[in-house]
Structure 1
């Protein structure tokens, strides 16, 4: 009977984590469709509009690592449920935003709530499922992320057209709070393997300031002040690492990167994967609308191919990683991604939409094959008391990788087009900037394959 209760609790945890894993990417992706309407209503310029997206990414990234440690000390369930509550209340506030500044602030608060869920979600799954079922559960969770990404262009576009941009925040506002209440009454356990440890406040502050400077600076490259901020952020992170090596209870156990080869290289592979993939949709959406003349809706319907294939493959690859070495599966996935990116390098004015669709299928297959096994490898490489740290590290790698990816793409566009809008007179320069961007991503993918293989053979007994 006891094992039945544990099994039921594990399934409830998985459903809740999958729900939040669907909502966050759904809003993150759908909000980009709504930016023109938000900008029109609040009279925002392009830079201010970008912060509706950027404020969420930035606050998520800087809070992830400290929250991961707090979850290990005070309880993962507690932080996960609090994150759900914060996201729900901030979403409810966003529905009634009176101006752009309030909306941007509420998006930053949403980012804090999401950081709480990102840092604890996979750690909770790792805590409640045995090693031989962990990959399958993680695969289902990754599938929920991709379903959220897949649904965003279709459902998000419909909601925006029918009910306005504020309707995007109805779902987390209306469903999040009942989910928290249900979890309080159904999940009895708590997981806090680092209970009693002292929280490293100094290290947390240094990390948050340094990561803010690095990410903000990189997003504004290649301007001079952006270089200064990026370098300052990098130096700050170096100081953070030195502080953590001396701390009795570090907020981020950097020794894991020195002593745990599997953990270090799996995280490096994740960082490179997100750095090579996140800006693909950004570049292709511009290409399809400007060069190929597709409407936003038609472009979205084509781009949905990639996350749909991801969702189909991620669950299968997660199950496979319980039986086969995740290193081989993840490395194969990265190789498929490199092939897809190489196929994007020569696209031009006359490239067919069918060709783009085929490439998106290949990329989706590669992403799905890489993500679940690599996450399973990271979570299985550490002791359970470090599960919150590992979960937070995975999410940090994702967000930093996403910022690097966008930084590379926007830098290339800035170099070739400058501050001009994209128009027929500079279409050739835009296509050249795309080719250089995808070429850089191919090179990074090759580095990612090396990082994935270099981690060594993975044991499934952790």
Structure 2
């Protein structure tokens, strides 16, 4: 009876943390559909509009590792719930904005809450579930992430078309309130914390500066300021690494990268995966609505094909990683994504919609095979006292990859379309930009496939 109750409690905790993981991809995929309408309301160009998703990603990337470390020290459940509260408040404030600049500001606030969610949800699941069921539990969590991606375009398109883009943020407020109420009641777990350690403030600032400079540099990569920012980020990273080796209680244990091959290469594969794929929704949303003339709802229904397959197959892929070496399904998945991205480099104004849907479904299968096993490999490669940091690092690779993906897209847009309002750009230039962006992603994903394959399959503490 005791074991049965423990199993029920674990499933409730899995549900709460997975709902938290659902929120942010749901917001991201639904807001992508609303980008053209937001642009029309505020008369914004494509570069400024890109900051609606990018501002959130940047804030999350800057804060996620420090928040993961803080969670290891003070308790992951506390930080998780605090993150949900901040995220929900940010969603509410985003409904009241008078300008695109104000919306971007509140997206930053949302991003801080998102970092607290990203840096703890997988860590909580990993600490609660035994090793024999961990891959399955992570697969369920990943399925919730992809559920957010699945329903986001459809719900986002529906809400945008009939109630306006602000209704998307109201939907996030409702979900956030539910998670807060359920979390306060059920998210009470015994945790191994590191309360004796002091928080590495200087390391956190250096880490934040590194991520900020590099990611902001990606947004301006086609111009001189972008090169300067990336150079500043590299210098800051060097100082950060030197400091982390010297300090007694580092915000990030550098040996996880220098001495743990599985952790390092799995993290690299995750970063490349998101760098090559996150902007798919953004690019296809623009292509489908501005080149093919689809409504926001119709575009959302087309884009649903990819995450739908991810939702269906992620738990199975996670369970598979409990039985076989994680790099095998992960590498197969990455290779499939590379092939799918290659097909999108040939998009034209005459590409059959069924080909687009079929390729999105193919990409969804590849995603499912890669994501759950790769996440399992990262979390299984470290000891429990580093779960928060490992979860934060996973979130960092994901968010930095997303930022890089948007940065590459914006660089291509800036080179080909300059800063003209999106509605004034010639259709052939939009198609050319989309094709070129996908070609860059193909090259990246091919490199990621190699990184996934050459990792050491043996666990390293």
- State the TM bucket, normalised to the shorter chain: over 0.9
User: Shift of the alpha carbon at 1:121?
Assistant: 0.1
Q: Distance in 2 between matches of 1:13 and 1:271?
A: 27
Contact 1:333 1:369 in 2 (8 A): yes
Q: Distance in 2 between matches of 1:314 and 1:144?
A: 9
TM-score by length of 2: 0.93
RMSD: 2.3
User: Could you tell me which residue of structure 2 aligns to residue 283 of structure 1?
Assistant: 283
User: Could you tell me which residue of structure 2 aligns to residue 365 of structure 1?
Assistant: 365
Q: Distance in 2 between matches of 1:38 and 1:166?
A: 9
Q: Distance in 2 between matches of 1:98 and 1:450?
A: 47
User: Shift of the alpha carbon at 1:226?
Assistant: 1.6
Deviations for 1:82-104, whole angstroms, at most 9, x for unmatched residues?
Answer: 11111122223333445544433
Deviation larger for 414-423 or 239-248: 414-423
Deviation larger for 297-306 or 130-139: 297-306
Closer, same or farther: CA 441–94 of 1 in aligned 2, 3 Å: closer
Structure 2 residue matching 1:9: 3-state secondary structure? helix
Deviations for 1:360-396, whole angstroms, at most 9, x for unmatched residues?
Answer: 1111111111000000000111001100001000110
Q: Distance in 2 between matches of 1:196 and 1:172?
A: 36
Q: Distance in 2 between matches of 1:371 and 1:4?
A: 29
Q: Distance in 2 between matches of 1:28 and 1:351?
A: 26
TM-score by length of 1: 0.93
Q: Distance in 2 between matches of 1:105 and 1:423?
A: 24
Closer, same or farther: CA 230–156 of 1 in aligned 2, 3 Å: same
Structure 1 residue matching 2:119: 3-state secondary structure? helix
Q: Distance in 1 between matches of 2:251 and 2:227?
A: 28
Q: Which runs of 5 or more structure 1 residues have no equivalent in the other structure?
A: none
User: Could you tell me which residue of structure 2 aligns to residue 231 of structure 1?
Assistant: 231
Deviations for 1:387-442, whole angstroms, at most 9, x for unmatched residues?
Answer: 00010001100111111112222222332333345689854454444333323222
Contact 1:88 1:173 in 2 (8 A): yes
Contact 1:76 1:192 in 2 (8 A): no
Q: Which runs of 5 or more structure 2 residues have no equivalent in the other structure?
A: none
User: Could you tell me which residue of structure 1 aligns to residue 3 of structure 2?
Assistant: 3
Contact 1:74 1:192 in 2 (8 A): no
Instruction: Note the 1:35-74 alignment, pairs <5 A.
Output: 35-39=35-39, 47-74=47-74
How many residues are matched? 461
Closer, same or farther: CA 348–241 of 1 in aligned 2, 3 Å: same
1:85 pairs with 2:85:
yes
Q: Distance in 1 between matches of 2:429 and 2:49?
A: 25
Deviation larger for 259-268 or 222-231: 222-231
Structure with greater contact order relative to length (CA < 8 Å, sep ≥ 6): 2
Q: Distance in 2 between matches of 1:245 and 1:57?
A: 28
User: Could you tell me which residue of structure 2 aligns to residue 218 of structure 1?
Assistant: 218
User: Shift of the alpha carbon at 1:7?
Assistant: 2.1
User: Could you tell me which residue of structure 2 aligns to residue 184 of structure 1?
Assistant: 184
User: Shift of the alpha carbon at 1:14?
Assistant: 0.5
User: Could you tell me which residue of structure 1 aligns to residue 397 of structure 2?
Assistant: 397
Q: Distance in 2 between matches of 1:372 and 1:186?
A: 25
User: Could you tell me which residue of structure 1 aligns to residue 374 of structure 2?
Assistant: 374
User: Could you tell me which residue of structure 2 aligns to residue 348 of structure 1?
Assistant: 348
User: Shift of the alpha carbon at 1:342?
Assistant: 1.9
Deviation larger for 412-421 or 108-117: 412-421
User: Could you tell me which residue of structure 2 aligns to residue 122 of structure 1?
Assistant: 122
User: Shift of the alpha carbon at 1:197?
Assistant: 1.1
1:435 pairs with 2:435:
yes
Closer, same or farther: CA 105–287 of 1 in aligned 2, 3 Å: closer
